Structure 1
Amino acid sequence: MEAETWTDSINQANKMALLAWAKETGIQLVQINGQRRYGGPPPDWVGDPPPAGTEVFIGKLPQDVYENVLIPLFQSVGRLYEFRLMMTFSGLNRGFAYAKYGDRRGAREAIAAFHNFPLREGCPIVVCRSTEKCELSLGGLDASLGAQELEATLRRVTPGVLSVTLRASPGQKQGQVALLKYSSHQAAAMAKKTLMEGNTRLSGAQLKVDWLSHDLKQKLQSCQEKPSSSRAQGGRHLGVPKQAPLSPVLHNAVDHLNTLCRRRCLGTPLFLTKCIQATPNGWLRFWCQVVIPGCPVPFSGFAWVQQDGPGRSGHEEAKVVVALQVLRVLGGQQT
């Protein structure tokens, strides 16, 4: 007789009850990557998946409870599209699950009926609206890592990737953080678990993965977007290229802009420049904004300039590059 492993004896009675229930009802449960799933869609489902707002989070579950108890309970208030129970290696649940209903009403009914519901005496469970987050932040990336290489790796190990965007890390010199968007909350949650397990290595980096927070998103949007996609909130976008050597005529771009604004009675332009990155080979990256009193929104963007010598801060060069771009937008560049 084959020896019984230590995991087989854990919660054996409830495991057998689950198997008997699944056989009797014909319900199929699929376990993969640390969760066991019913539906998504269920066998008799017709049409598109349910919209956002139809999923509830279920917490504080006794770890020896399985779907034979949970699915009938949550089905009693509405039609289930999907039920996902998070599992440990030993076969116990991890204390939480997700139930997705066919419509928003089912989710509301579940929260009303089962939040603080005593699943057992002295064991009230938590039921609330799932945030259904689909975006992750991936930190600890080396500055040399390219977006294509990162995306190719992530697509191999995490299904459902919609987009991958690299940004300079606000908390790590010469480092990068990636913003990852997935097709669903489930796909994002499974990607988070996979990446947190530490089996994925990128250029020797030690990855740090978390849900994309509002604070980090705002910080990256305000000061560290790439030139190709930069846009200040409420402002005009400047696609500022890396600086080419400026001729003496082009050095007068700021004066040309001042003259043009006076002619059009727009007021004197105000330049705001902030250096946000310096490279070892002398390139400086500036966030720039030009506020013209007669224009309804400011012109904002990013500029790369080269530090020509000691004592040169780069601010004047950045003003010239941005002035050229504003002149092009206003249609008044002089050559």
Structure 2
Amino acid sequence: MQKCFLTFKKGQTLWRESGRYLMVQTKIPQAWTDSINQANKMALIAWVKETGIDLVQINGQRRYGGPPPGWVGDPPPTGSEVFIGKLPQDMYENTLIPLFQSVGKLYEFRLMMTFSGLNRGFAYAKYSNRRSAKVAITALNNFEVQEGCTILVCKSTEKCELSVDGLATSLSRKRLEAMLQEAAEGILSITLYTSPYQKRAQLAVLKYNSHRAAAMAKKSLMEGNMRLYEEEMRVDWLKPDLKQKLRSSEKPLAIWVSRGKSSGSTKQAQVHLSPVLCNVLDRLDALCQRRHLGAPLFFTKCVQANPDGWLRFWCQVVIPAYPLPFSGFTWVRQDVPGASGHDKAKDVLALQVLRMLGCRLA
């Protein structure tokens, strides 16, 4: 069976398996009642069956897409998402998704839910491009969705990066990873620096796959005034001035990517700032072909060149059938005449991806 994507009646959960919809009994608290908005819930069920749309409910939000079926290419750029507020709590995706699709192609739609099955009054719609998001704001802000009820539609603040300062230098990578996985799911990468603000401390930059995931991690890490090795952490959104300072003057101590929790285990791939296997690109291409993922596409950009020969690259690889691109920063040294720093950066990223996909390199 696939993931549960809709709960609509006390003790029952709708599952989808091989195109069929199955009712499965579940044990849930008495707070759930049949009487809450039952007519609209049944209308939603009918719409889901008619359209075949999958709605995945996880941790208080119900999501369509991200990416939607048939999506090809990169996720939309920053600025493509809108915030939707002042929603009637008895309104669901069968009304909202067609409304927001009417002004542009949706990449993702997320409706925040209460345990009782009502919505929490707000949602997020991410479009395929920034232009569609602007059209949605112009066309749908103050739109009357019910008699006497107009909604708010505005640009979404999509902060996805946190800075965690004050980490003890004795803190092991293993413990840091465990702490971050416990805080929230959705972490994409961790970059560790020497703290520019505190002596004998480290600063970690955390990148998440969504603003919501980053916000949940921030809340979890800040709760209870967490301390590690007697060092108090300072958790905040990654500010532009700090980001620029790290880019221009700080070499990372380490970079690694986290795939999150999978069957109780966490898989990471650390970037070692050292030579990589010479045939790693061929191995990645062969692995993608074997798994029918499509040929990987690489994008690299040199963002910093130091006098000592070290080059800092932003690099990304898009695998067509994989849900998210792999991206990050790495340092390489152009110490061989005629060698391309771009090629080295591709090798480093390809090595990460191979490790994360579980390929043996020996």
TMscore range, shorter length: 0.5 to 0.7
Residue in structure 1 matching 2:124, options 83, 98, 107: 98
Aligned CA distance change for structure 1 residues 174 and 7 (closer, same or farther; 3 Å):
farther
Looking at structure 1, the residues matched to 234 and 91 of structure 2 have their Cα atoms a distance apart, in angstroms, of 32
Amino acid at match of 1:5: Q
Residues 196 and 209, structure 1, Cα contact 8 Å, conserved in 2: no
Residues 214-241 of structure 1 deviation map (CA, whole Å, 9 limit, x = unaligned):
466578789x957969xxxx99889xxx
User: Is structure 2 residue 89 aligned with structure 1 residue 66?
Assistant: no
1:161 maps to which residue?
188
2:213 maps to which residue?
190
Aligned CA distance change for structure 1 residues 148 and 197 (closer, same or farther; 3 Å):
closer
Cα deviation for residue 28 of structure 1 reads 1.1
Residues 30 and 38, structure 1, Cα contact 8 Å, conserved in 2: yes
DSSP 3-state at the match of 2:117:
coil
Equivalences for residues 1-335 of structure 1 within 5 A: 5-9=30-34, 11-13=36-38, 14-138=40-164, 141-142=167-168, 144-147=170-173, 149-151=175-177, 153-154=179-180, 158-168=185-195, 170=197, 177-182=203-208, 184=209, 186=210, 188-194=211-217, 196-197=219-220, 203=228, 209-214=235-240, 217=243
Amino acid at match of 1:159: G
Looking at structure 2, the residues matched to 227 and 79 of structure 1 have their Cα atoms a distance apart, in angstroms, of 38
Looking at structure 1, the residues matched to 141 and 214 of structure 2 have their Cα atoms a distance apart, in angstroms, of 28
Cα deviation for residue 121 of structure 1 reads 4.0
1:306 maps to which residue?
none
Residues 62 and 110, structure 2, Cα contact 8 Å, conserved in 1: yes
Residues 193 and 252, structure 2, Cα contact 8 Å, conserved in 1: no
Residues 237-291 of structure 1 deviation map (CA, whole Å, 9 limit, x = unaligned):
89xxxxxxxxxxxxxxxxxxxxxxxxxxxxxxxxxxxxxxxxxxxxxxxxxxxxx
Residues 192-211 of structure 1 deviation map (CA, whole Å, 9 limit, x = unaligned):
31552469977478866443
Amino acid at match of 1:108: K
- State the aligned residue count: 231
1:295 maps to which residue?
none
Task: List runs of 5+ in structure 1 lacking aligned partners.
Answer: 239-335
DSSP 3-state at the match of 1:11:
coil
Cα deviation for residue 29 of structure 1 reads 0.2
Looking at structure 2, the residues matched to 61 and 90 of structure 1 have their Cα atoms a distance apart, in angstroms, of 16
Aligned CA distance change for structure 1 residues 94 and 164 (closer, same or farther; 3 Å):
farther
Aligned CA distance change for structure 1 residues 134 and 191 (closer, same or farther; 3 Å):
closer
Cα deviation for residue 6 of structure 1 reads 1.8
With the length of structure 2 as denominator, give the TM-score of the two structures.
0.51
Cα deviation for residue 23 of structure 1 reads 1.7
Residues 115 and 125, structure 1, Cα contact 8 Å, conserved in 2: yes
Aligned CA distance change for structure 1 residues 49 and 10 (closer, same or farther; 3 Å):
farther
DSSP 3-state at the match of 1:7:
coil
Residues 192 and 252, structure 2, Cα contact 8 Å, conserved in 1: no
Residues 119-157 of structure 1 deviation map (CA, whole Å, 9 limit, x = unaligned):
334433222222332211335755642455424543575
DSSP 3-state at the match of 1:72:
helix
Cα deviation for residue 9 of structure 1 reads 3.9
With the length of structure 1 as denominator, give the TM-score of the two structures.
0.54
Cα deviation for residue 72 of structure 1 reads 1.0
> RMSD of aligned C-alpha atoms?
4.1
Looking at structure 2, the residues matched to 162 and 63 of structure 1 have their Cα atoms a distance apart, in angstroms, of 36
Looking at structure 2, the residues matched to 174 and 8 of structure 1 have their Cα atoms a distance apart, in angstroms, of 55
Q: Which has the larger radius of gyration?
A: 1
Aligned CA distance change for structure 1 residues 118 and 219 (closer, same or farther; 3 Å):
farther
Looking at structure 1, the residues matched to 234 and 114 of structure 2 have their Cα atoms a distance apart, in angstroms, of 22
Residues 163 and 205, structure 2, Cα contact 8 Å, conserved in 1: yes
Residues 60-99 of structure 1 deviation map (CA, whole Å, 9 limit, x = unaligned):
3233322112101101111212111122333332332221
Cα deviation for residue 37 of structure 1 reads 0.8
Looking at structure 1, the residues matched to 235 and 134 of structure 2 have their Cα atoms a distance apart, in angstroms, of 31
